[in-house]
Homo-oligomer: A and B are copies of this chain.
Amino acid sequence: MKKALEDLIVLDLGQIYNGPYCSLMLAFQGAKVIKVEPLNGENLRVRRKGDCHELLMLNSNKLGISLDLKSPEGKAVFLELVKKADVLVENFSLGAMDRLGLGYDVLNKINPQLIYATGKGYGLDGPYADRPAMDLTIQAMGGVMATTGFADKPPVKAGPALCDFLGGIHLFGGITTALYQREKTGKGQLVEVSMHDAIYPTLASALGAYYSQGGKVSQRTGNQHSGMATAPYNVYPTEDGYIAILCVADRQWQSLLRVMKKEELLEDERFQTNIDRSANTYLVDEIVTSWTSGKKKMDIADMLIKANVPHAPVQSIDEVAEDPHLKQRGMIREIVHPKEGKIKVPGSPIRLSDSVLEDVIPAPMIGQHTDQVLQELLGFNEEKLNHLRDNNIIRSIETMKQ
């Protein structure tokens, strides 16, 4: 079965999380993604000794080449690749590609069909454009921290690198949109995503509360609803951890009351509708807490599954890493890496019925496919490869030859 993006060639200059996640999604849909790294590898290679697990998670199903883009000869090789490519992905800091002489204007002239995708912290323009930006700074600037944590504690970041990943997946969506448009126009274009832009809509609940209160800033709500517009909606203590419980429909609240054996509250006017309950959030939370405390979280979960009340145990990282649901769905996959042995890497959250993801292939080592790619795509012979290698323009993998 042919995959959605088969026959497309992607030059992936991505580093750390943002760009690499974008191109991972392209690879999973069948594109031939060529990860282009400097001779010492991308920045994520060196986070810990050896290839860190994060890199292995986000670079499956890619070919890896290693090339010095700062040398004139390396640049010339890269420009030959650009002529063959459909898509380029990069998430360097602002202006880095221009300084290399590889900006959109240059590459678009060489290959007008190229879709040039740029993932940035603050985007290509605007007053903050040239500030250094990483997940942490965007969480601070973008309102994630302001809305995360408890009112009596400092603002706190979200644990996941959500700015990087939101940026990366928006970039993927922009690329596929541009690929569709290219089918109509025959032309490539510039696709731009700013992580800072991508965060703004996700604050819908907090912004909704802000505007509905005429511009009053609410305190951080901990695990309560960011707009304080749903109750119960919280994380409740149990004997062995925590459990999240919420009721978005009145029937769920009635069902919860029955499970808690609090039928006497069914007619209580303080709790009839969600608006009533939200006005009495702290009382609602007290009632639920008095029931969850002293019970085991999985016992509570079993009761709530039967009662059809939305809930979930708060899972720890080791529970997530071994989650039976994620495994059964192929979202957590065990593969064998030639150096690292058995590792667990993600499958694809985007499932197309006609482009099923069957095999996940380990991330390339630095320069693993340099020779192969330059031979196949550009027809370089052994002599040319030796010349480039001997002059430190390219790096081919040594470990594979052992």
Contact = CB atoms under 8 A, between A and B. Distances in A.
Contact of A353 (B189, B212, B315): B189
Contact of A320 (B146, B148, B183): B146
A101 interface: no
Given A194-B349, A206-B317, A352-B189, A157 B235 contact: yes
Interface string A205-238: 1111011100101101111011101100101010
Instruction: Work out how many copies of this chain go into the complex.
Output: 2
Contact of A204 (B54, B252, B348): B54
A124 B156 CA distance: 34
Contacts of A4: 177-178, 180-181
A40 interface: no
B5 A248 contact: no
Given A173-B176, A317-B218, A201 B156 contact: no
B128 A325 contact: yes
A160 interface: yes
Contacts of A169: 166, 169-170, 173, 198
B143 A320 contact: yes
Contacts of A237: 154
Interface string A188-206: 0111111011111111111
Contacts of A351: 123, 174, 190-193
B156 A148 contact: yes
A165 interface: yes
A185 interface: yes
B353 A207 contact: no
A244 B315 contact: no
Interface in A125-155: 125-129, 131-134, 136-150, 153-155
Contacts of A253: none
B203 A353 contact: no
A313 interface: yes
- Kindly name the residue among A48, A159, A355 whose own CB sees the greatest number of chain B CB atoms within 10 A: A159
A69 interface: no
B137 A208 contact: no
A310 B132 contact: yes
A168 to B, nearest CB: 9
Contact of A58 (B141, B204, B215): B204
Contact of A179 (B180, B191, B207, B220): B180
B210 A315 contact: no
B53 A211 contact: yes
A209 to B, nearest CB: 8
A363 interface: no
A149 to B, nearest CB: 6
Given A5-B177, A136-B246, A200-B332, 8 more contacts: A47-B208, A127-B324, A137-B312, A142-B320, A146-B314, A156-B235, A180-B180, A200-B346
27 contacts: A47-B208, A52-B229, A57-B204, A137-B246, A139-B244, A140-B244, A142-B315, A147-B160, A148-B148, A155-B235, A158-B159, A159-B220, A160-B202, A160-B206, A161-B226, A165-B201, A170-B349, A177-B352, A180-B183, A181-B354, A181-B355, A187-B354, A191-B353, A197-B326, A197-B349, A203-B320, A211-B343
Interface of A: 2, 4-5, 17, 21, 24-25, 29, 43, 47-48, 52-54, 57-58, 122-123, 125-129, 131-134, 136-150, 153-162, 164-166, 169-174, 176-181, 183-185, 187, 189-194, 196-208, 210-212, 215, 217-218, 220-223, 225-227, 229-230, 233, 235, 237, 242-244, 246, 248, 252, 305, 308-321, 323-326, 328-329, 331-332, 343-344, 346-355
The 3 residue pairs across chains A and B that have the minimum distance between CB atoms:
A147-B159, A158-B158, A160-B202
